[in-house]
């Protein structure tokens, strides 16, 4: 039976923006980190439907429905999982790769790949031909030799409307495929023309070594668009690819560090100057997808952007984004008039090496860049308020703790003041979220006993992603200890993830086929756990965790104790000897205390 390939599913999930998807159907208004609107799944007058873009989930506090972008489409359009994926693929112009079907039924993606290979070969030949002389001279004046041209497949798009189009076999490639490839576009009269003209061409190559897009640098100084990049296509997601990573990934893994630059020529200059562990954005600012991609190869990155004000702002945006993903970020500060390309043209690689080796960590760079804003108590207060808005997004509590300590020491304020501001922001966002919830009675959770409440709190503690709490739970409990019919399968999933060493991201947890009630519990757990990531004093959470563990591990003993007590009462009423029962009761109590002491130790 035909099925959607795992690669296509991953591509759909990587490109899907839940806020964008839900906004097609619900009018949303931002409140803190969340967006609220009237629930599309039940009648209500006050908005109780919440979307959390950072977690990638939605949840209605009225009817209890929750999930990720795929489950939203399933619920809203009343379709199954495969149909929902097909809708999203269509929404983002992703061509589905089906498994279990004949080759003759495939083709679109393969044809677009082939078109890009034809284009790359054509552009490279033109660069080395007579018509590409001006482009070749431009490259050579900038100090790039033939080896660089060949290695990175640089090329030239002639100053003509149909130079590439004339190379295409129209019996194999339909006009629709040509347009989808991003290499061509239609003009007046429905005629197809080349997208790139009179430009130095930089092929963008994926990790499999296949050309998926191009960046074109204008050679005419009067051209308004200095750089022109391929649009997104079925094979190209610009926020999910780095220029040059296919060449540099081995060096990045070997050195344990990735230098991130902005431009194509910046990449070429740094790479050919003896620093092969470098990547560049492919015509877009750094995104969350970029952060996650580079994190697959290294935990340490060094930003090297232009030295001017625009470069500084881009560095700050990128730095905070990378820190949120748990990366160790450093920054090379270039002179204000330089970019990486110009600096290495005017300086020796050894001088760049000195800048690289002495690069400051990102927070030092950020504080130094804003040192003139720290000259009064009022200015420091504003700085702390501003930086706390960034720090609260750091999920890893260890990184957050270290960064807070560093900031406090550098600007000479108490750590507690920064932590208090982070807590204030977390409370403000929580209150804003509560203020937008429906006043209607929400669909309630069935937590009737202390045991069930303990199970719920323990699952929530797992989802806070505090490793010490997860370790406590994993060390003492098994899936069998979670007996609530709805929470048992959720516990099975979470404990399995912990055993494998990787707890799925919030939105990925909904990829499991939960029933409606399980999704209600899961989305509530995720939303309630999220603000607890920012709790500073862990003592209360540790005590709550140990108390809940004790409840689950001693409930059978408590049941035995209750049964023995009833037997003692019955024996005393009959005037029978209850000595053995009293001893049994004492032993059970000692067993319970020993177990409680072990948990608290």
pLDDT tens column, 28-66: 888 877 899 888 888 777 888 999 988 889 999 888 889
Residue 299 near residue 256 (C-beta atoms within 8 A): yes
* pLDDT tens-digit readout, 177-229: 999 999 999 887 688 999 999 999 999 998 878 899 999 999 998 888 899 99
Helices (H) and strands (E) in the chain, counts: 24, 19
Q: What is the token pair recorded at 224?
A: 């308004």
What is the CATH architecture assignment of 3-99? Alpha-Beta Complex (3.90)
Share of the chain above pLDDT 70, in %: 95
β strands within 258-393, DSSP E? 258-261, 278-281, 300-303, 328-331, 360-361
Q: Which CATH number fits the domain 239-366, given the four candidates 3.40.1360.10, 3.40.50.1220, 3.40.50.1000, 3.40.190.10? A: 3.40.1360.10
Would you place residue 126 in the very low, low, confident or very high pLDDT band (cuts 50, 70, 90)?
very high
User: What is the C-alpha to C-alpha distance for residues 577 and 584, in angstroms, rounded to an integer?
Assistant: 13
pLDDT at 103: 42
User: What is the C-alpha to C-alpha distance for residues 114 and 122, in angstroms, rounded to an integer?
Assistant: 12
Which of 37-41, 156-160, 460-464 shows the lowest mean pLDDT across its residues? Answer: 37-41
pLDDT at 430: 65
Q: Boundaries of CATH 3.90.580.10 in the chain?
A: 3-99
Q: Which CATH number fits the domain 107-236, given the four candidates 3.40.30.10, 3.90.1150.10, 3.90.980.10, 3.40.50.740? A: 3.90.980.10
Q: Boundaries of CATH 3.90.980.10 in the chain?
A: 107-236
Compute the average pLDDT of residues 393-408.
85
Q: What is the token pair recorded at 194?
A: 């080349």
Residue 8 near residue 89 (C-beta atoms within 8 A): yes
Residue 275 pLDDT more than 70? yes
pLDDT at 1: 53
DSSP-assigned beta bridge partners for residue 302: 259, 330
Share of the chain above pLDDT 90, in %: 43
Residue 530 pLDDT more than 90? no
Residue 99 pLDDT more than 80? no
Q: Boundaries of CATH 3.40.1360.10 in the chain?
A: 239-366
Mean pLDDT of the chain: 87
User: What is the C-alpha to C-alpha distance for residues 292 and 299, in angstroms, rounded to an integer?
Assistant: 10
Nearest to 400 by CA among 368, 383, 422: 422
Four-residue CA torsion sign, 188, 194, 195, 200: negative
Residue 327 pLDDT more than 80? yes
pLDDT at 344: 95
Q: Boundaries of CATH 1.10.860 in the chain?
A: 444-601
DSSP-assigned beta bridge partners for residue 156: 200
Fold of 444-601: DNAb Helicase; Chain A (1.10.860)
pLDDT at 436: 47
Residue 88 near residue 73 (C-beta atoms within 8 A): yes
Nearest to 369 by CA among 417, 320, 441, 327: 320
Compute the average pLDDT of residues 568-577.
82
47: left (phi over 0), alpha (psi -120 to 50) or beta: beta
Q: What is the token pair recorded at 576?
A: 């029978």
pLDDT at 195: 95
pLDDT at 490: 95
| Element spanning 216, H or E | strand 211-218
Q: What is the token pair recorded at 480?
A: 């069998």
User: What is the C-alpha to C-alpha distance for residues 555 and 543, in angstroms, rounded to an integer?
Assistant: 18
User: What is the C-alpha to C-alpha distance for residues 138 and 89, in angstroms, rounded to an integer?
Assistant: 41
Q: In what order do the strands lie in the sheet with 211-218?
A: 155-157, 199-205, 211-218, 227-229
Nearest to 73 by CA among 61, 85, 62: 85
Residue 104 pLDDT more than 50? no
């Amino acid at each position: 039976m035909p099925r959607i390939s795992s690669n296509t599913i991953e591509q759909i999930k990587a490109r899907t923006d839940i806020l964008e998807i839900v906004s097609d159907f619900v009018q949303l208004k931002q409140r803190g980190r969340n967006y609220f609107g009237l629930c599309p799944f039940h009648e209500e007058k006050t908005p109780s439907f919440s979307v959390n873009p950072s977690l990638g989930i939605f949840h209605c506090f009225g009817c209890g429905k929750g999930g990720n972008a795929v489950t939203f489409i399933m619920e809203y359009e009343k379709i199954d999982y495969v149909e929902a994926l097909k809708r999203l693929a269509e929404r983002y112009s992703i061509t589905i790769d089906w498994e279990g079907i004949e080759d003759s039924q495939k083709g679109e993606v393969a044809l677009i790949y082939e078109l890009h290979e034809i284009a790359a070969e054509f552009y490279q030949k033109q660069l080395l031909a007579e018509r590409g002389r001006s482009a070749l001279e431009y490259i050579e004046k900038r100090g790039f030799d033939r080896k660089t041209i060949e290695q990175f497949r640089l090329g030239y798009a002639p100053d003509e409307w149909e130079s590439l189009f004339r190379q295409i076999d129209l019996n194999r490639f339909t006009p629709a495929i040509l347009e989808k490839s991003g290499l061509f576009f239609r003009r007046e009269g429905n005629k197809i023309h080349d997208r790139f003209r009179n430009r130095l061409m930089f092929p963008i190559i994926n990790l499999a070594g296949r050309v998926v897009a191009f960046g074109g640098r204008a050679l005419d100084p009067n051209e308004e668009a200095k750089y022109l990049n391929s649009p997104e296509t079925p094979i190209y997601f610009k926020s999910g690819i780095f220029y040059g990573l296919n060449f540099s990934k081995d060096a990045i893994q070997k050195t344990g560090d990735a230098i991130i630059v902005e431009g194509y020529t910046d990449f070429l200059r740094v790479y050919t100057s003896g620093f092969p562990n470098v990547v560049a954005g492919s015509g877009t600012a750094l995104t969350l997808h970029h952060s996650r991609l580079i994190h697959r190869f290294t935990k340490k990155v060094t930003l090297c952007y232009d030295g001017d004000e625009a470069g500084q702002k881009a560095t700050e945006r990128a730095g905070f984004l990378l820190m949120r993903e748990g990366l160790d970020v450093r920054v090379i500060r270039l002179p204000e008039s330089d970019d990486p390309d110009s600096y290495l043209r005017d300086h020796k690689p050894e001088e760049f090496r000195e800048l690289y080796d002495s690069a400051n960590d990102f927070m030092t760079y950020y504080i130094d860049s804003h040192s003139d804003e720290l000259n009064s108590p009022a200015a420091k207060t504003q700085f702390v308020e501003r930086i706390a808005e960034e720090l609260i997004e750091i999920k890893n509590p260890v990184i957050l703790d270290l960064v807070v300590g560093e900031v406090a020491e550098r600007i000479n304020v108490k750590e507690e003041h920064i932590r208090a501001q982070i807590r204030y922001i977390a409370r403000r966002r929580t209150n804003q979220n509560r203020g937008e919830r429906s006043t209607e009675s929400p669909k309630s959770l069935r937590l009737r006993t202390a045991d069930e409440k303990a199970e719920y709190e323990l699952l929530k503690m797992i989802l806070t992603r505090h490793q010490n709490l997860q370790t406590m739970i994993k060390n003492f409990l098994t899936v069998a200890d979670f007996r609530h019919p709805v929470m048992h399968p959720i516990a099975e999933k979470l404990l399995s993830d912990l055993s494998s060493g990787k707890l799925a991201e919030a939105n990925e947890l909904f990829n499991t086929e939960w029933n409606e009630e399980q999704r209600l519990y899961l989305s509530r757990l995720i939303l309630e756990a999220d603000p607890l990531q920012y709790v500073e004093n862990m003592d209360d959470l540790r005590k709550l965790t140990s108390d809940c563990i004790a409840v689950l591990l001693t409930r059978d003993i408590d049941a035995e104790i209750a049964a023995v007590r009833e037997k003692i009462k019955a024996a005393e009423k009959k005037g029978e000897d209850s000595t053995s029962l009293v001893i049994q009761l004492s032993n059970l109590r000692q067993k319970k205390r020993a177990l409680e002491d072990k948990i608290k130790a």
